[in-house]
Structure 1
Amino acid sequence: MKRPARWFDGLRARMAAALLVALLAQFIGGEIIFERIEAARIERAHARRLAERLVIAGKLAESHADAVTAMNGLWAPSLVVARTPVPPAGMGGAGRADLAAVAEVMVAARPQLAGVPLRLARDGATLRGGVRLADGSWLHFRETDYFSGNSMLLHYTASVLLLVACVVLMALLFGRMLGRPLRRIAEAAERVGGAEAVPIAVEGPREVRQVAAAFERMQARLLNHVREREQSLAAMSHDLRTPLARLRLNLATVEDGETRAALKEDVAEMETFVTSVLDYLRGDEAEHAQRADVASILMTVVDEAHDRGEAVDYHGPDRVELLTRPVKLKRLIRNIVQNATRHAGSARVRLEADAVAVVIFVDDDGPGIPETQMQTVFEPFARIDPARGRHTGGVGLGLTIARRLSERLGGTIALANREEGGLRVTICLPRLDRLT
């Protein structure tokens, strides 16, 4: 389905367009009706005035020889009359509908014209004709601009434009009043998903207030539901540590060395799984945003890797400040670095920053990830090769935790295979005035 143009996709624009169309339809339709009524009224007035003048001209022409000249001096150039002994040529009776209407109005205005031969013709906006006088002569006449009439719409163009501008401005203002609370609800919906409820200002019309209140109730129910599930899973994972610790102590009583080694490996895998689940759940813990030195956090993670005997290097500036959540950022970078050293044996961390964003690159020389599974690896407990996960100690939550942490920091994370081999993880953190 084709989406509407961007400028027409907002509530204010659609309200303004609807009111504008309604206004134009009403104005133009009313103008057309008014113009037809006015044209008919003016035409009747023209016909009555013409009939009166012809009756006067006929009586004066019969009694005074120079009356025609005097009348032309009085009425010209709009009306010109002439007295001749012959009827006007090229004219019949008023057979056309418009001419018949003119003749009907003239006779109704001046009954003296009833039964008198009257011939009419039309040349554009000019009405020509002749009427026979009592002595048998004919009085010819020509009235210019008889059928002309300009649309009143053209005369009121400035008023129409001013009225349209006022309507559009009012529509935009009302649309803003209605759209602002809706926009706030949409912005709040985008921020939902953290550890805390997102406050919503309940304002605007009654229906919008009802939507905001319903949204807050839905948000509270969702958070309660998620917290209950997370607390249950966290409690289970935490309680598993006690029997695991007892199992580790009891392994010392196993005499067979091979069996003892296999059991230790299983216990270690279970402890890794429990730790990963707890790390996954800790990603939603509340943390206040504050300004922190990203470079210092990265160098700290690299130093920790060195202490574990891992080959990790840092390249970048010595100090880059960013409004962020330092604990989550450190956990995110540590997770990515450990994932790289686990699968590739080494990692290189690089930091770049500008006025728009802070970008962190973590490169390794490992086998990379097939292009078809670039998004799959972000799913919980997803593994490219289950057997490989057993050998490296992963449980399939590393990249899932990384994506969740990057989202909590307002950033993005992306994977890409390097041309020279290995995997590149790119974490982009925009410079924001506040974090949701």
Structure 2
Amino acid sequence: MRPPRFWPDRLGGQVALLLFGALLLEFVGSEWLFSRIETGVLAQERASQLAQQIGVADRLMSEIPAAERPSAATRLWREPLVLAWRPKAPAATGADPNLAVVSRTLRAIQPDLEGRAIWLSTAGTSLAGAWQLGDGSWMTFRAAGYLDTSRPLHGHIGAVLMLVACVTILALILARLLGRPLRKLADAADRVGREDVTPAAEEGPREVRRVAAAFNAMQARLLDQVNERIQALAAVSHDLRTPIARLRLRAANVRNQELRAAIGHDIDEMEAFMRSILDFLRGADPEEERLIDLASLVVTIVHDAQDMGSAVHYEGPASLELVTRPIKLQRAIDNLVQNAIRHAGQAEIRLSQGDDGVRIVVEDQGPGIPVDQLDTVFEPFRRLEGSRNRNTGGAGLGLAIVRRSITRLGGSIRLENRRRGGLRATITL
């Protein structure tokens, strides 16, 4: 099951996203909670300040003569709190029930207002209202910005940026702590069956160390089983040499020439069969990488085949350097060449270097392989009937050895039939 598109593929990205989500949830929740608390505290504080100012205005305006009250109100109070005196009650607007806390605070802080008429209303972010003086006249007021509870945006931006920075740092640290041992474990797993066996480093958190230890134990068990089978087969091969040698001696005493040749052919086939199996099982033999001249290696294979009387031709550069394991590579190319000679009587080798790597192409003009079996021929002990039958010899391990060797060299091999007839094997390194 593939993860959603928004979910990152790398461990560091997943950790960062989880941390960012958790911290963002905490940030939003705390902001909401603090906002509610701050709004209540701010409303109480503003109501207290307003009550104190109204109390001062009530006592002061009550002592000033009525004729001087309008000018005194204009002179003594300015924005954000503006007061005005009215001899009669102003036109009252509908009271806002949300301002009940302000009204209760006013009466609680200024007991002198108890029993007097007070009304409050809102106009945007401003608070408007009026209260009755002791002589029956009225004072009106308007507090600009009283209901404004917004906070500067730069405070939120700074908090978010700090959040992102903390998440990024934590994600990098966690990704390094977790990702490095996991990458080493993945590299060790990828090397299994490709090159020399090296145990995975048991480092990192306890869970990762347990995985690495389990992997090393599994790798050791697999290697022990493979080595046991190789040793058992090698022992069988060694023990068979004596009876095979006796068979050769006894076959030499057979007077019938055709029967003697048939027995000799069967003995050769038995020995070739045992060698093929041992070569296949010993494909993981350790070998160091080194710089070689690949062109010289291929030319050597061609000259050896030509010395044996085979029609093998080479086309390619005179020199091409490559860092590889030469024994495995030489064995793979030689198997392909011998396979072409066995089934087609000739072979053509081309060597080239392109953007995708080094290519080694071995072609023949034989009968080819059915299209539906181009992949199955790489399976061990897989033999084709018809054109590639038992009369050609072999144990059906040649191509399996080739693919295993090329895979361990980090390359790939592809088989395809030529349009003009014959088989083409392409090795890409």
Q: Could you tell me which residue of structure 2 aligns to residue 168 of structure 1?
A: 168
Deviation at 1:58, TM superposition (A): 2.7
* Residue equivalent to 2:61: 61
Q: Give yes or no for the alignment of 1:122 onto 2:126.
A: no
Q: Within 5 A, what are the aligned runs for 1:174-213?
A: 174-194=174-194, 196-213=196-213
Q: Compute the displacement of 1:353 (Å).
A: 2.2
Aligned-residue offset at 1:387: 7.8
Query: 2:137 corresponds to which letter in structure 1?
Result: S
How far apart are the structure 2 equivalents of 1:5 and 1:338?
50
Moved more, 313-322 or 214-223: 214-223
- Which of 82, 85, 96 aligns to 1:83? It is 85
Query: 1:145 and 2:145 equivalent?
Result: yes
Distance in 1, Cα, partners of 2:74 & 2:227: 101
* Normalised TM-score (structure 1): 0.90
CA contact (8 A) 2:381 2:396 kept: yes
1:295 maps to a residue whose letter is: A
**Residues 165-190 of structure 1, C-alpha deviations (whole Å, 9 max, x = no match):** 13311321232122111211111111
| Structure 1 residue 210, shift from structure 2 partner | 3.1
What residue number does 1:358 align with?
A: 358
Q: 1:134 to 1:35 in 2, by over 3 A?
A: same
The change in CA–CA distance for 1:296 and 1:51 in structure 2 (over 3 A counts) is same
Are residues 248 and 3 of structure 1, via their aligned partners in 2, closer, same or farther at CA, if it must alter by over 3 Å? farther
When residues 93 and 123 of structure 1 are mapped into structure 2, their CA distance, relative to the original with a 3 A threshold, is: closer
My pick for the range that moved more, 322-331 or 53-62, is 53-62
> Post-superposition shift, 1:392?
1.4
Q: Give structure 1 stretches of 5+ with no counterpart.
A: 430-436
8 A Cα contact 1:91 1:129, kept in partner: no
In 2, Cα distance between equivalents of 1:153 and 1:289:
62
Q: How far does residue 116 in structure 1 lie from its aligned partner after superposition?
A: 1.8
Q: CA deviation at 1:203?
A: 2.7
Alignment of 1:153-164 (within 5 A): 154-164=154-164
Q: Are the counterparts in 2 of residues 60 and 67 from structure 1 also a CA contact under 8 Å? A: no
Tell me which residue corresponds to 2:428: 428
Query: How many residues end up aligned between the 2 structures?
Result: 427
TM-score normalised by the chain length of structure 2: 0.91
For each residue in 1:273-295, what CA deviation from the matched residue of structure 2 results, as whole angstroms up to 9, or x when unmatched? 12211221332222222211111
- SS in structure 1 opposite 2:102? helix
**How much does 1:75 deviate?**
3.3
Q: CA deviation at 1:233?
A: 1.5
1:303 is aligned to: 303
Q: Which digits, 9 at most, give the CA deviation of each residue in 1:259-306, with x for residues without a partner?
A: 445444433332321221122133222222221111111011111111
Q: Does the CA contact (< 8 Å) of 2:343 and 2:388 recur in 1?
A: no
Aligned partner of 1:92 in structure 2 is 94
Alpha-carbon offset, residue 90 of structure 1: 4.9
User: Does 2:222 correspond to 1:227?
Assistant: no
Counterpart residue number, 1:385: 385
Report Cα offsets for 1:304-338 as digits up to 9, x if no partner.
11112111111111111111122221111100111
8 Å CA contact 1:87–1:138 kept in 2: the answer is yes
CA offsets, 1:53-111, max 9 Å, x none? 223223333332434433444432211122224433352345x2x12222122222222
How far apart, in 1, do the equivalents of 2:356 and 2:424 lie? 21
1:129 match: secondary structure: strand
The root-mean-square deviation of aligned C-alpha atoms, in Å, is: 2.4
Question: How has the CA–CA distance of structure 1 residues 277 and 49 changed in structure 2, closer, same or farther, with 3 Å as cutoff?
Answer: same
Match of 1:132 in 2: 132
Q: Which moved more, 1:374-383 or 1:12-21?
A: 12-21
Displacement of 1:228 in angstroms is 0.7
Name the aligned partner's letter for residue 69 of structure 1: S
Per the alignment, do residues 279 and 204 of structure 1 end up closer, same or farther by CA in structure 2, a change over 3 Å counting?
A: same
Which sits farther off after the overlay, 349-358 or 177-186?
349-358
Q: Deviations over 1:99-153 (max 9, x none)?
A: 2222122222222223321112112212122212222222221111111122366
For 1:61 and 1:221, locate their aligned partners in 2 and report how far apart those are by CA, in whole Å.
99
> What is the deviation of 1:158?
2.5
Q: Write the deviation string for residues 355-389 of structure 1: whole angstroms up to 9, x where unpaired.
A: 76322111122222233222211110012327833
Q: Structure 2: which 5+ residue stretches go unaligned?
A: none
Structure 2 match to 1:344: 344
Question: SS where residue 353 of structure 1 aligns?
Answer: strand
Partner of residue 40, structure 1 = 40
Q: Secondary structure at the match of 1:288?
A: coil
C-alpha deviation, 1:196, in angstroms: 3.8
- 1:334 is matched with 334
Name the amino acid aligned to 2:271.
Answer: E
Closer, same or farther in 2 for the Cα pair 1:264/1:88, shift >3 Å?
farther
Specify whether residues 397 and 311 from structure 1 end up closer, same or farther in structure 2 by C-alpha distance, changes over 3 A only: same
Letter aligned with residue 77 of structure 1? E
Cα displacement (A) at 1:393: 1.1
Residue 354 (structure 1) shift: 4.9
- The answer to which of 129-138 and 196-205 deviates more is 196-205
**Contact persistence 1:126–1:146 (CA under 8 A):** yes
Question: Per-residue deviation at 1:425?
Answer: 1.1
